[in-house]
Structure 1
Amino acid sequence: MATETETPVDAIDAFKALSNPIRLKILTWLRDPRGNFPVEQGIADPDEYGVCITQIRDRTGLAQSTVSSYMATLERAGLVTSTRVGKWTHYRRNEGRLAELGALFTGVI
């Protein structure tokens, strides 16, 4: 749950991050990493570490720099977290933050 100190600007930044259809689609795909991204031999467990940015790039068909920028925007908004595994960065959804944003619409906060 969001704290009483959360300002509307915090939520606005998160919703701005979601205003891009590709970023929203990536966040949706990350809800089910095993179902939306192939689990490859030797790649970190997607349930524990998230999905490698290379797999996200392959799924979107966008340039690495574009996907990196999109993921950085989602991370700054608190919607995903990143974990380094070797030389690769893996991303997973921040379910707590997503629940906070959802609660804004239900009147819980």
Structure 2
Amino acid sequence: MPEGPDPQDLVEVFKALANPARLQIMAWLKDPEAHFEAYQPIADRRSVGVCVTHIQAKLGLAQSTVSSYMGTLERAGLVRPTRIGKWTHYRRDEERLARLAREIGTAL
């Protein structure tokens, strides 16, 4: 009989998404072209992600706060970082999100 999802893993995901700003970031990253069209992309948003400076500008929060938020989302496995020069770009980990949706469906 296969084991279910790791409850601690799900707790970390729920904690990461419990913050309204982090939840908003995840929603924006679902369609980066629409939500970050006002910002000149440094790289392809679909394949590489959105530059953290653009996320910071859109949120209107301090760089350190946004970096902390992105670190939390990354540790929870919700986003993947890509470094381009001195800039870090983030995109959603859609494969992980789909797996989490299935795990939540079976765990709850």
Instruction: Name the TM-score, length of structure 1 as normaliser.
Output: 0.89
Is this contact kept in 1: 2:28–2:35, CA < 8 A? yes
The residue identity in structure 1 corresponding to 2:40 is: E
Number of equivalent positions? 106
Q: State whether structure 2 residue 86 is matched by structure 1 residue 87.
A: yes
User: C-alpha distance in 1, partners of 2:9/2:95?
Assistant: 14
SS in 2 for 1:45: coil
Is this contact kept in 1: 2:5–2:103, CA < 8 A? no
Deviation track 1:9-62 (CA, whole Å, cap 9, x = no partner) reads 011101100000100000000000000002516x11101100000000000000
User: C-alpha distance in 2, partners of 1:103/1:12?
Assistant: 15
Instruction: Name the TM-score, length of structure 2 as normaliser.
Output: 0.89
Deviation track 1:69-103 (CA, whole Å, cap 9, x = no partner) reads 00000000000000001110000001111112211
Deviation at 1:6, TM superposition (A): 4.1
Q: How well do the aligned residues superpose, as a CA RMSD in angstroms? A: 2.0
Unaligned 5+ residue runs, structure 2?
Answer: none
The residue identity in structure 2 corresponding to 1:40 is: Q
Unaligned 5+ residue runs, structure 1?
Answer: none
User: C-alpha distance in 2, partners of 1:67/1:108?
Assistant: 31
Structure 1 pair 5–102 and aligned structure 2 pair: CA distance change class (3 A): closer
Which residue in 1 is equivalent to 2:40? Answer: 40
Is this contact kept in 1: 2:16–2:73, CA < 8 A? yes
Q: State whether structure 2 residue 24 is matched by structure 1 residue 25.
A: yes
Sequence identity of aligned pairs in percent? 56
